[in-house]
Structures are given as C-alpha cells and as structure tokens.
Amino acid sequence: MNPEALAAAILAVLTPVADSLRPDEELGLTASDVVLDRPRNRDHGDWATNIAMRLAKRLGTNPRELAQRIADGLAAVDGIAAVDVAGPGFINIRLEAAAAGALAKTIVDAGSAYGTNDSQAGVSVNVEFVSANPTGPLHIAHTRWAALGDSIVRLLLASGAHAVREYYINDAGAQMERFARSVLAAAKGDPTPEDGYPGEYIADLARRVLEAHPALLELPEDEQLVVARDQAYEYQLAEIKSSLERFNVPFDVWFSERTLHAASDDGGPSLVDRAVDRLRAQGHVFDEEGAVWVRTTDFGDDKDRVIRRSNGEYTYFAADAAYYLNKGDRGFQNKIYLLGADHHGYVNRLKAVAGAAGEDPEKNIQVLIGQMVSINGARLSKRAGNIIEMDDLLNWLGPDALRYSLERSPADSPLDLDPELLQKRTNDNPVFYVQYAHARTHNVARNAAASGVDRSEFAPELLTHETESALLGALQEFPRLVAFAAQVREPHRIARYLEELAGLYHRWYDTCRVIPKGDDPLETVHRTRLWLNDATGQVLRNGLQLLGVTAPERM
C-alpha cells in the first residue's frame, strides 16, 4: 500500500464520519489533503497523520475522539495491521508486512518510471540558466547554476511538466564590441585594450580567426572588427557548448539576444520595438524628457525604469522585457530565472516586467538567486588568467563529484567544497557513498545469479526484518519527494534522500542475506530479498539520474 492509496483509504473512512457530525457541510477534501508523515520512531508505525487535529474544530468535535473514530474505521481496511491514536489526536498506522513489502515488486516492474508523477501536469515552464556572455570560458559560478538548473528541469519533467532548458546568449551590446577589439588586438600583436578581455584564450581565438581568415588584417578596420567578433564568437560559443556537454547539461534552446533587436522577417518592427508597444498598451509606459519609461514601481520595483533613452537607444531593461514577452509568446506560462549572487537587483525588475505584461509576478515568474561557491586549492585558469574554469574543474574532480557536490546544498547557501574529500573512495565522500550503494546492488544481483537466486518467487510478507521495514519505508517516499522537490525547485532534497537511502541499504545488506549462507537451503525469502535489492538499486539509479550523475554498476 503506497501513500496515495493509504490517503485515499483515510479519506474514505473520514467522509462518512464527517457527514455524521456536520451533515449540512460539504468537506470538499481530496486524498491530497491527507498529509502523511513517516514517524521518526519506527515503533510508532509506518505512517502518521494529523488529519483529525486539523478538522476537529471545523467538525465541532474533540480531536482525539475524531482520531479514534477514524482509527476504528481504518483497522478494518485490508493491508493495515494496526492503528493507534497518540497524544492530542495523531493517528499512527502500521501496515501489514505483505502490503508494505509489495512495493519492491512495484518498483522493479515500474523501472525508470518509478518516482515520476503528474503533480506538474499541464504546466509549461521555461528555465533559463547559465546564460554567460559568449566572450570567455565558463567559470566556477556558472558551474553551480549549470548543475542546479539542469536538475530542476529534470525534476519538472519527472513531475509531468512541459519544461525546457534555455540559454540566453548575450551576443549584443558593448561587451561584444570589447570582445572584438580584444581579439583583433591579439591578432595584430597589440596589447589588450584597456577595457578589453585578458587571458591566453583571447590569443588562441585570435590565432584561430587568422587561420580561418588569412586576409583579415588587409580588410578595412570596421570590417576587421566584424569578422573578428563574429568568428571568435562562434568559436567561443562552441567551447561553452562543449563544456556543458561534458558536464552532462543539455540545452533545449539557445536564444540569441541579437534576435530581439533584429527586424522581423517581413521587415517590420523588432521584438524590442513591439515589447514597448505592448507594455504601452497595458497602460504602464510613459514619456518624460524625451525618454520612454515603464512604471515598474507599480509592481514593487524601487524606481521606474527607462526602456528607451532620449537618444533613441534601448536599455538592457528593454531586452529583458522583450525576452520575457517572447517566452510567453512561445507558450511558457511560467518562467524561472537562475541568477548569480550579484544579481539581486534583477529580481524586482523582472517581476515588474511580468506585472507590466499583465501577468502575476508571484505566479508566472520565479527568480532564484544562488550564492558563491569556492573550492579549496582550485587554481586560476592559465588560459583566462583571472577565473577558475569549468573545464579545469571537470578535469580535476570529474563531472559526477562536481555535480553531486554542487546539488546537495540549497542554492542560496554559500559552498566551500573540499576537493580531497570529493576524490576519496570512502564513505565520507557523499557521491561515492551513494554510487557505491548502487554498485553494491548490482554486485549482489550478480552474485545471486551465480548462486542460483533469481526473482522467480515473491512473498512480500516475508520482508519483516526491521531493516527491511525501514528500507521499504524510504523507497515508498521517493515519488512524493520528487514531486515536492520539483514544486520547491530544490534538487538538494533528492541528494540528501539518496544518502539516507544508501545508509538504510548498507545496514540491510549487513543484516539480511540474499544468498544462503554456507550449506543453508535456498528459500523463498532469498528470492524475495533479491526483489528488494533490485528495487533499491532502481531507486538509487532514478535519483542519480535526476541529479545528472551516473550510476555505476561496478566500483
């Protein structure tokens, strides 16, 4: 019996009790309103609910009396072994061993689908993250957002949402012109411009540009800048994509900022031009001193924003507005932005754009601000000179250790990672601990096959050891946890769950044998335990997949 079935059973018992107490009032409850928790003390049962305490006042009765009436009804439900009322009205429920153990086969049969749910069905979400300027390599801060953003999308997809990963390429504006001047100066052998980009990677890009365009320096100066900019941009963007691919972070959409400023296919106004007109139609645009403003203070911003300067040039805010509107035009009702620690000022600005566009700033947009991450002993990039590159971190720590360690803490908490720990093959290393648990399930299955233990029998009522009960209880929690982690956008909940599950599995492994000992006969319980072993491996594998981390079969 899974939590959803148990909640439905509680509701079925509760409804006639409520009707008898308040016949004229419709409860209007669904099974999702019945909150179930795992008791910290396993002696209290498998599940507990406070539904009686929540409804007693509304039904005009004593919480404990209501709890007892619910408990009496639940005692007759198939699969429930015992029900007790504790304290002011908590209901503790113990399942029959067969009902609890049946989960092992359910998981094995479901395979990679176990944990998926429909809690986000019908929701369309655009998740924009990383979005580094294509003027240099990705660095350590981008690395954290790459891991978290990708896993948030994986959670949303697992929960039934239509979600995409989007990278906004800042390929327009002053930074691209500085980039072009830097590459061209390197191509000519000149010093880096005062406001240019330093680092050996600029020299590498210049060399590649000259190889592709041998006559570059014979062109007029303005043409040299265009060629240097566009060719170096192509090379640098390809490097960014390669780094993200190594990190197991695929993007569904690469959105160029240039498209916001380009005329439409029929020669009409650009997306930015149309964004101003649309916001004006909503009544939030005004003109003052020759400039065009958006009254963003109506939506909590600290000041109104200029969207077009008096000289006719658009501001960065104009691109932000046009980009936000474009996401809605592409069918995304919800937009998630993952921004760095130095972007707090963007929160109110982006929410104001949503409000000015006629959407709900508290519902249609979510801005997540991440904190900085540092890694002891990490060296500045030799190529870039002043940053710690993602590629260097991948070469040093590997994608699995790096991703897992970045994802196992909340995004808004600063991180200081210990590289020595992350490279250890010991239980002190969280990613090793979880991956080793998964590899151990496969080792058990291989040894079982060699000893003639298969899954030809399944008797869930035999899974009665306390370590089996604890393991099954944790396995049962996985789908609900996936749904919750998707809802709150917190992949770290999956990582911490996997560590707990790994610990429960290791304790079970130390106590319960899948393979008969010595000359002991092969019994049904051994075959049944193989189901539980394989179910645990499946959940560990599914959880690691949500984090973008591999699940090795041997270690």
Q: What is the CATH number of the domain that holds 46?
A: 3.30.1360.70
Of the ranges 37-46, 143-152, 257-266, which is most confident?
143-152
What pLDDT is stored for residue 384 in this prediction? 67
What pLDDT is stored for residue 31 in this prediction? 83
Same domain as 188, residue 54: no
Same domain as 531, residue 504: yes
Of 246, 266, 290, the one marking the end of a domain is: 246
Same domain as 271, residue 185: no
pLDDT in tens, 106-130: 999 999 999 999 999 999 999 999 9
The DSSP string of 31-66 is: GGGS--B--SSGGG-SEEE-HHHHHHHHHTS-HHHH
Average pLDDT for 56-63: 92
Residue 519 confidence (pLDDT) above 70: yes
CA distance 212 to 406: 38
Query: Largest Cα–Cα distance of the chain, in whole Å?
Result: 93
Of 224, 246, 268, the one marking the end of a domain is: 246
Q: What is the pTM of this model?
A: 0.90
The amino acid occupying position 269 is P
Same domain as 360, residue 471: no
Average pLDDT for 433-444: 98
Same domain as 267, residue 185: no
Using 50, 70 and 90 to split pLDDT, how confident is the model at 380? low
The domain in which residue 206 lies consists of 174-246
**Residue indicated by tokens 């699940």:** 551
Q: Identify whether 136 is part of a domain.
A: yes
CA distance 197 to 137: 11
**End-to-end CA, the chain:** 34
What pLDDT is stored for residue 277 in this prediction? 92
Using 50, 70 and 90 to split pLDDT, how confident is the model at 30? confident
Q: What is the mean pLDDT of the chain?
A: 93
Tokens of 117: 């749910």
Residue 396 confidence (pLDDT) above 90: yes
Average pLDDT for 324-336: 96
pLDDT in tens, 139-172: 988 999 999 999 999 999 999 999 999 999 999 9
Q: Identify whether 467 is part of a domain.
A: yes
Using 50, 70 and 90 to split pLDDT, how confident is the model at 302? confident
What pLDDT is stored for residue 49 in this prediction? 95
Q: Which helix (H) or strand (E) holds 27?
A: none
Q: Identify whether 273 is part of a domain.
A: yes
CA distance 413 to 405: 13
What pLDDT is stored for residue 82 in this prediction? 93
Percentage of the residues of the chain whose pLDDT score is greater than 70: 99
Of 246, 270, 287, the one marking the end of a domain is: 246
Same domain as 194, residue 262: no
Same domain as 164, residue 263: yes
Same domain as 232, residue 135: no
Q: Identify whether 552 is part of a domain.
A: no
Same domain as 83, residue 192: no
Q: Identify whether 111 is part of a domain.
A: yes
Q: What is the CATH number of the domain that holds 465?
A: 1.10.730.10
Among 315, 332, 322, smallest CA distance to 279 is for 322
pLDDT in tens, 465-485: 999 999 999 999 999 999 999
Q: Identify whether 25 is part of a domain.
A: yes
How many independent structural domains does the chain possess? 4
Average pLDDT for 413-419: 88
**Residue indicated by tokens 């020595």:** 420
Q: What is the CATH number of the domain that holds 289?
A: 3.40.50.620
Number of residues assigned to the chain: 555
CA distance 533 to 549: 21
What pLDDT is stored for residue 382 in this prediction? 63
Calculate the CA 161 to chain-centre distance: 13
Residue 3 confidence (pLDDT) above 90: no
The DSSP string of 128-156 is: E-----TTS--BHHHHHHHHHHHHHHHHH
Using 50, 70 and 90 to split pLDDT, how confident is the model at 386? confident
Same domain as 295, residue 259: yes
Same domain as 151, residue 206: no
pLDDT in tens, 77-99: 998 999 999 999 999 999 888 88
Q: Identify whether 391 is part of a domain.
A: no
CA distance 161 to 116: 11
The amino acid occupying position 539 is V
Same domain as 50, residue 190: no
What pLDDT is stored for residue 97 in this prediction? 87
Q: Identify whether 410 is part of a domain.
A: no
**What residues does 385 pair with on adjacent strands?**
none
pLDDT in tens, 186-197: 999 999 999 999
Residue 272 confidence (pLDDT) above 90: yes
